[in-house]
Amino acid sequence: MDLLLICKDGSASSLVANLLWAMQARKAGGDAAVLFSSEALAAFTSGTFLWPRELMLQDARLAMADSAKAQDLPIMLRGEGRQIDFHGVFAQAQQAGLPMYADPIWTDLLALRGKLPAGIAEIDAAAGLKMLREARTIIGSL
């Protein structure tokens, strides 16, 4: 694997950034994957993806939605409530065949085996270590 992005933060901005960078790497011909850990895994199981305070402001949210639409990224709602649709970005990553994995340590610590959404593969510690050893570049917490 050329690039492994480790996403530990449960904020929508971090989750979107990791997915978009990994998809960009794959579009450029690279072999990329995302490993979700701690807060990110908890966000997937709760279904709650919050934007950081600075990105919750209406001006920022509208600017992101307009930019996302221009880039063919999914947005939700209309008018003054429009914003990037995280679930839609996740669905795009799945459709693009982006490999996504659950950190086995945090999967076990949070008792999430069998509770993660489709598209996020559960792996064991041996597979996780192999992935970390073989990845050419590892980037954490985008």
- CB contact at 8 A, 14 and 40: yes
Cα-Cα-Cα-Cα dihedral sign, residues 35, 38, 43, 44: positive
Reply yes or no on whether the pLDDT at 77 is more than 80: no
Q: What is the largest CA-CA distance in the chain?
A: 48
Higher pLDDT, 113 or 73: 113
Confidence of residue 34 (pLDDT cuts 50, 70, 90): very high
If you average pLDDT over residues 86-111, what whole number do you get?
A: 95
pLDDT at 142: 54
- pLDDT value for 26: 96
The predicted model gives 108-135 an average pLDDT of: 96
The band of 115, judged by pLDDT with boundaries at 50, 70 and 90, is: very high
Ranges of each domain in the chain: 3-50+85-140
Q: Cα–Cα distances in Å, from 10 out to 24, 25, 43?
A: 21, 22, 5
Assign domain 3-50+85-140 one CATH number from 3.30.70.100, 3.40.1260.10, 3.40.50.2300, 2.60.40.150.
3.40.1260.10
pLDDT tens track for 121-131: 999 999 999 99
User: Rounded to two decimals, what is the model's pTM?
Assistant: 0.89
